[in-house]
């Protein structure tokens, strides 16, 4: 059946991929990948030889109509990102929307995403939370944080190791130095780490110990 399938890929350990995901990647006519070089490592590891094309934030606006036409001709397409679930801080939304508007079936497989393990391991309330993804790299960072100043739910952010200290400093300013938080690094990898404390404690730690790897910041919501 011609359709679009969003396939989560491991955020660290390759064994986190599901058997169903492997079957889909072997059976579809085309795989769209955020980075074809990165995808080739995963596909080679599991002996998958499906044709791969690039689909990333710099070309997705131009490609969605073309991909929809390809699916309408009877082909099935899988979309993967470099790690985790497509559409979560990665390309995917535009293509999904266009497929839905064009009457093309869309299927999303359950699977890896970094912020859920980070949330659970943070020790902060997980019954209600909001996922904020990446803060703007330049303009609008403080405005975004200020809009969350009174948020009562646990908040989750993605951040680059190169901007972690900047982010923690800004969060300390907006949310206060005693707000509890957790910085999770390298989810599902050999050096996985969850460092818990107040925002000011985490800031001082990473000033003294520059971070590496993919990062998730989890912050407790404002207490009533």
Task: Locate the domains of the chain by residue range.
Answer: 4-108, 115-219
Tokens of 77: 């397409």
pLDDT at res. 60? 80
pLDDT of residue 224: 78
- Give the pLDDT of residue 1: 79
| pLDDT at 138 (0 to 100) | 84
CATH 3.40.1010.10 for domain 4-108, yes or no, is yes
Q: pTM here?
A: 0.91
Q: Which positions of the chain have pLDDT values less than 50? A: none
User: What pLDDT does residue 59 have?
Assistant: 80
What lies within 8 Å, CB to CB, of 171 at 6+ separation is 145, 179, 181, 199, 217, 219
* Cα–Cα distance list, 1 to 49, 69, 74, 104, 107 (Å): 20, 15, 7, 10, 12
Q: Just give the CATH number of 115-219.
A: 3.30.950.10
What is the pLDDT, as a whole number, of residue 71?
A: 97
pLDDT of 165 reads 97
Give, as one character, the DSSP assignment of residue 14: G
Per-residue pLDDT, 86:
94
CA distance 48 to 27: 9
Q: What does the pLDDT read at residue 199?
A: 98
Q: What is the pLDDT of residue 172?
A: 98
């Amino acid at each position: 059946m011609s359709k679009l399938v969003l396939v989560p890929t491991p955020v660290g350990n390759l064994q986190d991929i599901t058997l169903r995901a492997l079957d889909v990647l072997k059976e579809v006519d085309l795989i769209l990948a955020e980075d074809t070089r990165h995808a080739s490592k995963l596909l080679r590891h599991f002996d998958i030889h499906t044709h791969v094309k690039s689909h990333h934030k710099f070309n997705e606006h131009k490609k969605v109509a073309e991909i929809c036409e390809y699916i309408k001709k009877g082909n099935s397409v899988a979309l993967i990102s470099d790690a985790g679930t497509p559409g979560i801080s990665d390309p995917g939304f535009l293509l999904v929307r266009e497929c839905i508007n064009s009457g093309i079936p869309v299927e999303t497989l359950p699977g890896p995403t970094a912020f859920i393990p980070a949330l659970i391991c943070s020790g902060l309330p997980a019954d209600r939370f909001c996922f904020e993804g990446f803060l703007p790299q330049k303009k609008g960072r403080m405005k975004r944080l200020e809009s969350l100043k009174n948020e009562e739910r646990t908040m989750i952010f993605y951040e680059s190791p190169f901007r972690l200290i900047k982010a923690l400093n800004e969060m300390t300013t907006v949310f206060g130095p005693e707000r509890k938080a957790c910085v999770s690094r390298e989810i599902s990898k050999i050096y996985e780490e969850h460092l818990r404390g107040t925002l000011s404690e985490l800031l001082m730690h990473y000033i003294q110990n520059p971070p590496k790897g993919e990062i998730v910041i989890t912050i407790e919501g404002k207490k009533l």
